[in-house]
Structure 1
Amino acid sequence: MAYGLGSARTNKWTMVFYAAVAVGWSGWKVWKYHSADYVLARLELRPGTAPAELFGGQLQPGNAIELSVPRSDIVRLLGFIDVMRYGSIVIGMVIILVGLLFVYRFCDRVIVGDPFTNATRTDVAVIGVCIAVYPAITGFMNLLSTNSVIGALELSDIVNSSISAVGLYTAVVVAVFLQFVYATITQGTKLARDAEGLV
């Protein structure tokens, strides 16, 4: 079987490769943020606020803009913003690595022929939690940092941070669907074994 389910040894090195990719991707994001002279912030008007002149343009209700804010303009809260942005990347990496660990454990149990034990159910549940928690935690930390950018620019009276919840909803649906599929396969296998016993 492919993608980590060929053998215990293949599974181990496949997951090590995926973990290395996750660490490398996170390291690249940290370096990219650290080396930038600006901070990105996605903003939208507060509900009920009239169109506002903002940085040479007009922000209309219902629209969102992404600003590249020079670090020199937000020095007052830059420390907190950096903590949230770096924290979002690092915590996201940790969640991915935890998820990969339980994927590894699940694949190992499948390889040795124990795909429906209580421990395997725990593995699948934790994988689902990691899928759902990743966008929730990283999104919340990015929201806090964006709100800090707004505060440093003294725009709190007219704009809010604009964070899409589509990723979170999608992750929750995927996590729930994963549990449903696993439960269905477990039940189907049990019924098949019971049917064989009746023959």
Structure 2
Amino acid sequence: MAFGLGSARTNKWVMVFYAAAAVVWSGWKMWKYHSSDYVIATVEPEWNTPPVELFGGRLQPGNSIELSVPKADIARLLGFIDVMRYGAIVLGLVIILVGLLFFYRFCDRVITGTPFTNAARTDVALIGVSIVAYPVLTGFMNMLGTNSVVGALELSETIDTSRSSNGLYIALVVAVFLQFVYATITQGTKLARDADGLV
């Protein structure tokens, strides 16, 4: 089978490749942030404020914009912002690696012919938890960093962090769908075994 389910050895090396790709991707994101002279922050007006004049434009409640703020302009809070930005990338990498570990364990159980044990169910559940945890935790850290950018610009009275929940909803749907598919396959396999026993 493809994507790591051919044999135990293939499974191991495919997962190592996935993990290495995640490390390289996270390293590239860190380098990109480090080498940039700007901090990107997506903001929107507070819901109960009138339209805001911002950098030559007019920002209405319900709209959001992406600011590219020079790091030199927010030097007094740059240390905390850097911690949040780098921390979100590192935390995201850890979550991906943990999810890959449980995916590897589940693939191993499939290869050895034990995909429907309690341990396998736990692996699938923790894969789902990892999928949901990624947007929740990294999004929270990025929000703290953006709030610091807003505070450094002294705009916290009128501007708020833009909080899109789309990523979280997609992650929840994927995680729940994964559990549903696994439960359906488990039940179908059990029914097939029972039917074989009756024949």
- TM-score norm. by structure 2 comes to 0.98
Alignment of 1:82-161 (within 5 A): 82-161=82-161
Deviation at 1:151, TM superposition (A): 0.6
| 1:54 alignment partner in structure 2 | 54
**Cα distance in structure 2, aligned partners of 1:61 and 1:123:** 43
1:109-133 residue CA offsets vs partner (Å, 9 max, x unmatched): 1011111011111110110000000
* Other structure's SS at 2:192 match: helix
Query: Are residue 29 (structure 1) and residue 3 (structure 2) matched?
Result: no
Secondary structure, counterpart of 2:58 in structure 1 = strand
In 1, Cα distance between equivalents of 2:160 and 2:105: 42
Q: Distance in 2 between the 1:197 and 1:66 partners?
A: 62
Residue in structure 2 matched with residue 187 of structure 1 by the alignment: 187
Using the alignment, how far apart are the partners of 2:57 and 2:154 within structure 1? 17
Q: Secondary structure at the match of 1:74?
A: helix
Pair 1:41-2:35 in alignment: no
Instruction: Give ranges in structure 2 of 5+ residues lacking alignment.
Output: none
Count, aligned residues: 199
Alpha-carbon shift at residue 48 of structure 1 (Å): 2.1
Deviations 1:98-152 (A, max 9, x none): 1111111111110111110111111101100000000000000001110111011
Q: Which runs of 5+ in 1 are unaligned?
A: none
Structure 1 ranges of 4+ moved more than 2 A: none
Query: What percent identity do the matched residue pairs reach?
Result: 76
* C-alpha separation in 1, matches of 2:169 and 2:18: 25
Which deviates further from its counterpart, 135-144 or 57-66? 57-66
1:163: Cα distance to partner? 2.2
Distance 2:6 2:127 in 1: 20
TM value normalised by structure 1: 0.98
Q: CA RMSD in A?
A: 0.7
